[in-house]
Chains A and B, each alone.
Chain A
Amino acid sequence: MAEVTLISHSGTRTTLEVPPGTSVMRAAIANGVRGIYAECGGDTMCATCHVYVDPEFAGLFPPVNEDEDEMLEATACDRLPSSRLSCRLTIPDGCGAVVVRLPESQR
């Protein structure tokens, strides 16, 4: 299990126990975390699960691919170097913790 902490735009912290193989988006949705919409259900189709990954955890995840790169260019809030779609952030084996911040809006 990894400890995934999501910090809302207003600063509310939610920490979830997430098994490896689960995406940050799926964990957030399953636990009713506000601020993640995931309209498309995790298909890299909608850009409504945008998060900012704290830099120290960025290396845990595969690099941004072409589709995700395009989607990130069109998110509701500004793209930053730390921007990811949380549906693409699958918790790897052996991961202890991850911290992500949520944008002010998703759509």
Chain B
Amino acid sequence: MSERVVIVGAGHAGISTAFELREAGFAGPVVVLDQAGHEPYERPPLSKAWLAGAVSTGELAFRGPEVYARRRIELRTGVRVSAIDRGPREVVTADGARLPYDHLVLATGARPRALPVPGAGLAGVHRLHTLADALALRAALDGARALAIVGGGFIGLEVAAAARKRGVPTTVVEAAPRLMRRVVSEPVSAFYHRLHEEAGCVIRTEAAVGALTGEDGHVTGVRLADGATVPADMVVAGIGVVPETGLAGAAGLATGDGVLVDEALRTSDPAVFAVGDCARFPLGEAMVRLESVQNAADQGRAVAAAITGDARPYRDVPWFWTDQHGCKLQIAGIATGADEWAVVGDVQERRFTVLCWRRGALVAGESVNRPADHLALRRLIAAKASISPAAARAGGFTLKDHARSLAG
């Protein structure tokens, strides 16, 4: 009898796992369970092209509905998994049904962190995670007179760019000293800060939120810890996500800001894997959790390989992107703890790359409107190529030539 794979979650990671299983030649049943009641869809455009009106809702679907059937992927939407019974290897759904598995893949994702302040439940307070959130947010933007965004990360700034494009007065409130601090270097933070201000967005850094104020149940502003108030009839909270580890934890699997997995993405139970936003895995010396489409897609591929007997350590170079005011930022690697950087290219021309080193090793690169640099960097970082800061700062340096010399 052929083995059955059950996948919980039909986001990028879950769907990638399902299709990659077929690519890898897995012939047994593949069942994907998802609590949302509709077809799987792409999330990145929700805060970018879709929000800007450049992509229709119909174009967000991952695949046409008939493709799942053609690849014999059984997609069951509107099904909530309530428990994992690891003894008999069964998942239990909310209606009490039991579904056996040989391999279980948790692709449960993450949920937006709720604003931990009074007034967070007022009408007019939005978040952006699901398509339903996005539809509500886009509709509200149409009538917004003043928008306040709490959180100067990717999501907050992408929404800010879309709002300014529609002419909505917008203020971004960020607790840290600079924008996107968690993921980018200082020069890139400074560049995007200026870009947003030039587009008419007000940015307040080092501004902690004390409460949201309201009237008749609707939000009227954001009160900062220093007592000042930013007036707003619409608030978007973009302050990060919390991994969905409830199922794993209740089943006795090891968790800790994510479902803990090894290099092959196996949890503490070898019959159970975790992938995507919910998985915390070893990368270099650290345990990390990455929220990106690349990570979701590549981990799906890695788990499919493991299930079909071709397990290898997951070591793909992480990459992320954002698009704000027409300036595309592509990040390769992880700059955490970087102690030196160099700028290649022309900041004034809005085409440059910041290279980041940690203890002499090139660990990350952030490219603004320099896609070829980005692709070269992914190869250089994967190959652990050594480039010295001095060489990068010298005239005539190009990443492409370096990547070429590597290939040659």
Contacts and interface: CB of A to CB of B under 8 A. Distances in A.
A39 interface: yes
Interface in A37-90: 37, 39-45, 47, 67, 70-71, 73-74
Contacts of A37: 297
Nearest to A22: B59
A40 B331 CA distance: 13
A74 B376 contact: yes
B67 A31 contact: yes
Contacts of B70: 32
B321 A43 contact: yes
B48 A74 contact: no
Interface stretch (B149-157, B159-167, B195-203, B365-373): B365-373
B205 interface: no
A34 to B, nearest CB: 7
A26 B59 contact: yes
A37 B294 CA distance: 11
Given A73-B400, A74-B375, A43 B63 contact: no
Given A39-B297, A41-B42, A32 B63 contact: yes
Interface string B59-90: 10111100100110000000000000000000
B71 to A, nearest CB: 6
B44 A74 contact: no
A18 B220 CA distance: 47
A37 B16 CA distance: 11
A41 B371 contact: no
Nearest to A73: B372
Nearest to B292: A39
Nearest to A26: B59
A29 interface: yes
B293 A41 contact: yes
A30 B371 contact: no
Contacts of A44: 328, 371
B19 interface: yes
B48 A70 contact: no
B323 interface: yes
A56 to B, nearest CB: 28
Interface size class on chain A is 20 to 34
Given A31-B64, A32-B19, A40 B371 contact: no
B63 A71 contact: no
A55 B323 CA distance: 32
A43 B324 CA distance: 12
Interface string B162-187: 00000000000000000000000000
Interface size class on chain B is 20 to 34
B370 to A, nearest CB: 7
A76 to B, nearest CB: 9
B23 interface: yes
Given A34-B23, A40-B321, A74-B376, A45 B63 contact: no
Contacts of B45: 41, 43
Contacts of B372: 70-71, 73-74
Nearest to A72: B372
A31 B63 CA distance: 6
B62 A29 contact: yes
Contacts of A31: 63-64, 67
A31 B330 CA distance: 28
Contacts of A41: 42, 44-45, 293
A38 B163 CA distance: 27
Contact of B293 (A26, A29, A40): A40
Given A32-B70, A41-B44, A47 B63 contact: no
A31 B64 CA distance: 6
Interface in B316-347: 321, 323, 328, 330
B64 A43 contact: no
Nearest to B19: A32
Contacts of B375: 47, 71, 74
Contacts of A32: 19, 63-64, 67, 70-71
The 5 closest A-B pairs by CB, nearest first: A74-B375, A32-B67, A70-B372, A30-B64, A70-B371
26 contacts: A22-B59, A26-B59, A29-B62, A30-B64, A31-B64, A31-B67, A32-B19, A32-B63, A32-B67, A39-B293, A39-B294, A40-B321, A41-B293, A42-B49, A42-B55, A43-B44, A43-B45, A43-B328, A44-B371, A45-B328, A47-B375, A70-B370, A71-B372, A73-B400, A74-B372, A74-B375
Interface of A: 22, 26, 29-32, 34, 37, 39-45, 47, 67, 70-71, 73-74
Given A32-B67, A45-B371, 10 more contacts: A30-B61, A30-B63, A30-B64, A31-B63, A31-B67, A32-B70, A44-B371, A67-B328, A73-B372, A74-B403
